Structure 1
Amino acid sequence: MEIFQSANAVRLRSSHGKYLTAHDDEESVTQGRHGDAKAARWTVEVLPADYTNHNIIRLKSCYNKYLTADDQPFLFGMTGRKVTQTVPDRLDSSVEWEPFRDGKNQVKLRTRYGEFLRANRGLPPWRNSVTHDIPRRTATQDWIFWYVEVVETDMLKPEKNLILHSDSFSSSESSVPSTPSSLSGPEV
């Protein structure tokens, strides 16, 4: 997905207006109001297209741990499984997320098993929790949408390199564009 292709780091804001946050216990993942906190910043790793041609990303917290779809239930007997931050022995599908665009900067992040990253709300213990699940109720359908705020970009990533064309020069114009929005070239 092109929004992640040139992003080095992002913040993910839930439909509840809170940010996906790596808790300082270096294991839990919650939602927090402070998007400018370092714990709300996630480093993006874009994997090469796999044999199914899916766009897969990994998100790494400020504690250098991956956003992980755990198999354990969030609450015994309830729907929704834990989302944690881990450093697995080997990088497997539990740390891989497939983004689906739904709007300009709005995405759904799906695990390899078809469940979506979900921002919960309500009374404790659900308040500010993050799980992965398949939404089954109309009331919670929007809880799987995340707004992507790009914090840091890398214009040199090969997927988004833009070719600058300069057929003519004039003394009143700079030969090198000053802002990324003035770049032109084929979209990849």
Structure 2
Amino acid sequence: MEFFSKTKAVRLKSHMNKYLIADDDQISIRQSRSGVTTNAWWSVEVVDSNPHAIRLKGCHNCHLTASSVPFLLGMTGLKIFQTLPESYSKDPATEWRPIRDGFQVKLKAHQGTYLRANGGTPPWRNSVTHDCPIVGATHNYCIVWEVETVELLENEAVTDFTSTASSFSPFPCEMSSLEFDCFGSPVSFRSWFAISVSASSRWLSTEKVRTLRDSISRYHKA
């Protein structure tokens, strides 16, 4: 629990250096190399009835949930979903028990399974499931995650920042690969936008909006 006890929000990075992502369909969970998008940010909630367990709430106000639905028929892995708090507020499927593994952590679901980052060819590539550890394996690297702290403004949650950002931005949450030359050097749009929101106390000045509009225009003319 020490990884989560002193922070309000985290990013979780798998053994493939990809982040746990709450997809924009508000249902799916996947992995992505982009950690700057708010889709990779998870608010930490301690479960009142179980001090050893946490809930992780994504940018769409949905909890990370271990379902009983098979990822593929005939396989052992089960699907991970996003679910709304009101529908799963007392369901143990939204509860995860952090277990330290060196400098990383394993997240154990109520069924005794662990959050697992998958790789390989589709449909496994970038997928996330929960599954039992491989029997006899010396190290189950697929179920260990690196925890990165996300610095939020005081009294702010991941969902607060996302709703604010989305109200100003016509773009989907994940556009970290799109670059704009706003200040003379290439920076990611999401990084620049996050800095702008924080620096301007969650509103964009007229000058910033004009700069962004001009940058978009130059991008389309390039």
TM-score range, shorter chain: 0.7 to 0.9
TM-score (norm. length: structure 2): 0.64
Q: Spell out the pairing of 1:40-119 with structure 2 (5 A cutoff).
A: 40-48=40-48, 50=50, 55-87=52-84, 89-91=87-89, 92-104=91-103, 106-119=104-117
Aligned equivalents of 2:120 and 2:100: distance in 1? 26
DSSP-derived class of the 2:66 partner: strand
Please say which of residues 85-94 and 10-19 is displaced more in the overlay.
Answer: 85-94
Q: Spell out the pairing of 1:1-188 with structure 2 (5 A cutoff).
A: 1-48=1-48, 50=50, 55-87=52-84, 89-91=87-89, 92-104=91-103, 106-136=104-134, 138=137, 141-152=140-151
Aligned equivalents of 1:141 and 1:90: distance in 2? 29
Aligned equivalents of 1:139 and 1:118: distance in 2? 16
CA offset at residue 3 of structure 1?
A: 1.7
TM-score (norm. length: structure 1): 0.75
DSSP-derived class of the 1:109 partner: strand
Quick check: which one's strand share is greater? 1
Aligned equivalents of 2:73 and 2:138: distance in 1? 22
Runs (5+) with no aligned partner, structure 1: 157-188
8 A Cα contact 2:88 2:94, kept in partner: no
DSSP-derived class of the 1:17 partner: coil
Q: RMSD value over aligned CA atoms? A: 2.1
Aligned equivalents of 1:70 and 1:111: distance in 2? 10
8 A Cα contact 2:15 2:144, kept in partner: yes
- Inter-CA distance 135–27: structure 2 relative to 1 (3 Å threshold): same
8 A Cα contact 1:48 1:55, kept in partner: no
- Inter-CA distance 22–140: structure 2 relative to 1 (3 Å threshold): farther
**Matched residue count:** 152
Quick check: which one's helix share is greater? 2
Percentage of identical aligned residues: 50
Aligned equivalents of 1:34 and 1:89: distance in 2? 29
Aligned equivalents of 2:139 and 2:45: distance in 1? 29
Aligned equivalents of 1:133 and 1:139: distance in 2? 17
**CA offsets per residue over residues 16-50 of structure 1, 9 Å max, x none?**
11000011111000000001111000011012463
Aligned equivalents of 1:49 and 1:100: distance in 2? 18
Please say which of residues 120-129 and 139-148 is displaced more in the overlay.
Answer: 139-148
Aligned equivalents of 1:141 and 1:107: distance in 2? 12
8 A Cα contact 1:8 1:154, kept in partner: no
**CA offsets per residue over residues 115-173 of structure 1, 9 Å max, x none?**
000000000000000000002263982100000001137999xxxxxxxxxxxxxxxxx
Aligned equivalents of 1:153 and 1:73: distance in 2? 35
Please say which of residues 137-146 and 27-36 is displaced more in the overlay.
Answer: 137-146
- Inter-CA distance 123–140: structure 2 relative to 1 (3 Å threshold): farther
- Inter-CA distance 132–116: structure 2 relative to 1 (3 Å threshold): same
For 2:21, give the aligned amino acid.
Answer: T
